[in-house]
Amino acid sequence: MSTLQRRRVNRAGSDSSGPELSPTVTAEQLADDVRNSASNTERTKYKSQDADDDDDSSIVGKRVAYDPEEAKLQGDYSIPTLTLMEEVLLMGLKDREGHLSFWNDNISYALRGCILIELALRGKIRMLDDSARKRFDVSERLVEVIDGTKTGEVLLDETLQLMKNDEPLTVANWIDLLSGETWNLMKINYQLKQVRERLAKGLVDKGVLRTEMKNFFLFDMATHPVADSTCKEAIKRRILSVLVSRNMELEYNDFFPKTTSFALIRTLALICSAYGANVLENVLASLDFDKRDRAIGRSDEILAQFAQYPFKLDGESEYGISINLNREVEDEIEGLPGHDLQLEVVAGVIEVFSRMDLLL
């Protein structure tokens, strides 16, 4: 006879969450208890997940891939929806065709300068604070990174990473490197690839453009016609308020809110960038000949005024256009003190734009 004996276990004092065994329990009852226990556990788990999803106050703590920098960017209302590069590209795009002019050689180079202006206005870069820098032209002064955190824009973050990992270089040097205009084989990889296409896709994501495939002779090409014409028209009105109206007054909207920091400097940088990229004429095409000629003359004045730092704000316009511009710029700079070295970068890029025809 076997010496093994069946023991009875009294579970009354044990954990009540498991099934309680008794001398008369059957195999079927035990299986039912196990299934019911598993089902209750599963329902409790899903119920807790639903509660976490519904509770907005705890979603930051529960989210698996949470980026605190992204949350900080979402709450920053001082930055407009569209970057300076996107606005310049939008001014150059044909509304229905959805592509740039095939004869425009300036826009790629100008977009790299817009990247530096955007980084400066966001407080990411500035001129190296060295008193000896004033012996050089503003575009030949060294630039340094002061804030390496993410901006949320791929091109800006890519450029910022390159600048962080290198020694300080001049404004003109950085525009050349980002454009691929260099003989230094060690820095040929600094060239930003497919800038126009990436900017267009960013505008598609923001609902301003849409993507269509069109046939060009023997091949298909992705084009990006305008989907939201109100955005482009608002940018045009903002530019024309400076180049046509006697008294300049900026127009704000959802894409360019009133809380935007350096709103006027951004608008002037947009005019100079569009001028350098040869897309400003698209904005002025709706004007008659006399107004268009005067607007181009005013653009030349603005380019000369802001291609140096401190900005030349003591003169008056010969065309009687935006006569309150100098005073408004002074008020804006005084309202945001401590940004002189950042605005110096803006002036350096505009100086490069002022001699674009000599560079290309």
Query: What integer pLDDT is reported at residue 37 of this predicted model?
Result: 57
Alpha-carbon gap, residue 179 to 18, rounded angstroms = 69
Query: What integer pLDDT is reported at residue 261 of this predicted model?
Result: 95
Alpha-carbon gap, residue 190 to 24, rounded angstroms = 79
- Strand, helix or coil at 256? coil
Query: What integer pLDDT is reported at residue 356 of this predicted model?
Result: 82
DSSP state of 20: P
The stretches of 184-276 forming alpha helices (DSSP H) are 195-205, 229-243, 263-276
Q: Could you list the beta-strand ranges (E) of the chain.
A: 125-127, 142-145, 169-170, 212-216, 219-223
Adjacency order of strands within the sheet including 169-170:
125-127, 142-145, 169-170
Q: What is the DSSP string of 326-337?
A: HHHHHHHHHHS-
What is the mean pLDDT for each group of 10 consecutive residues in the chain (360 residues)?
A: 46 44 50 55 47 45 53 70 97 90 88 98 96 94 96 96 95 96 89 94 95 81 91 96 95 94 97 96 93 96 96 92 96 95 98 79
Alpha-carbon gap, residue 91 to 277, rounded angstroms = 10
How would you classify the pairing of strands 142-145 and 219-223? Answer: unpaired
Q: Could you list the beta-strand ranges (E) of 139-178.
A: 142-145, 169-170
Query: What integer pLDDT is reported at residue 144 of this predicted model?
Result: 97
